Amino acid sequence: MSGDDEYETEMTATRDDVATVLSGVIDGITAGSIRLGDGADAVSVEVPEDITLEIELEAEDDELSLELELEWPRPEVEESADSPTESSSGEPIEDPSGEYELAAPVGAADASQTLARFEVFRDRADEWRWRLRHRNGNVIATSGEGYTRKHNAQKGLRSVVQNAPEAEVVEDSER
């Protein structure tokens, strides 16, 4: 992120969708850099070891507001003409296959983690699925089955992430 660039998005979504976005922020903080947005709208920012977290809960009229704000000193930056100044709306979008996915991806900005991303979406049968999509658009892996609850699709996705990073590769030599 350079100069006076800003990234802002607002979305109205289910608790699960919001939790997914916040999990991406946590992944980015843990990795030391956060990627906000996707494609040409993406912005990445380095996160130092020490940061300030401010949590504020307000009750005003008939609404509650919970604000989470992270702050740290701005590092020395180089100007970049590629940095966006605004994001998309963050509303769910329909992709060409008729499946829906969250349009506000957030996650770790480390290059090794940006080669692919997991997507959780509803299929045409109104079931939840996950897929791993390479940054070139190709689907690398899928859940293989639909789930009636989004939470279960996310649980399956997390199981793959946790249990397969060093999985053994075996060759079927019977053919």
Give 42-92 pLDDT, tens digit per residue.
788 889 999 999 999 999 999 999 999 999 998 765 544 443 333 333 333
Strands 128-134 and 52-60: unpaired
Residue 37 lies in a domain: yes
pLDDT for position 49: 92
pLDDT attached to residue 133: 79
Q: Which long-range contacts (CB under 8 A, 24 or more apart) does 27-31 make?
A: 27/107, 27/108, 27/113, 28/106, 28/107, 28/108, 28/109, 29/70, 30/108, 31/108, 31/109, 31/110, 31/113
Q: What percent of the chain has pLDDT above 70? A: 70
β-bridge mates for residue 52, sequence order: 71
Percent above pLDDT 90 for the chain? 16
Residue type, 64: L
Structure-token pair, residue 45:
């920012």
Return mean pLDDT, the chain: 74
**Is 174 part of a structural domain of the chain?**
no
Q: Does residue 139 surpass a pLDDT of 60?
A: yes
Q: Is 28 found in the same domain as 54?
A: yes
CA neighbours within 13 Å on the CB side: how many for 145? 7
> In sequence order, what are the beta bridge partners of 119?
131
Please tell me whether residues 92 and 13 are part of one structural domain: yes
Rounded mean pLDDT, 103-116: 56
Q: Amino acid letter at 54?
A: E
Residue 129 has pLDDT above 50, yes or no: yes
Q: Decide if 173 is inside a domain.
A: no
Which two three-digit tokens encode residue 11?
């979305």
Range with the poorest average pLDDT among 111-115, 137-141, 149-153: 111-115
pLDDT at 138 over 60: yes
Same structural domain for residues 5 and 38? Answer: yes
- Full-prediction pTM beyond 0.85? no
Q: Are residues 71 and 126 in the same domain?
A: no
For the chain, strand residue ranges (E) read: 33-36, 43-46, 52-60, 63-71, 93-94, 100-101, 106-108, 116-122, 128-134, 139-142
pLDDT tens figures, 142-161:
998 999 988 888 888 888 88
33 and 95 together in one domain: yes
CA distance 99 to 167: 30
Range(s) of the domain holding residue 132: 115-164
Instruction: Give the single-character DSSP code of 1.
Output: -
Tally of domains in the chain: 2
Say whether both 91 and 159 belong to one domain.
no
Predicted pLDDT of residue 101: 44
The residues, any chain, with a CB within 8 Å of residue 8's CB and separated by 6 or more, are 86, 87
What does the pLDDT read at residue 105? 57
CATH of the domain at 147: 3.30.160.160
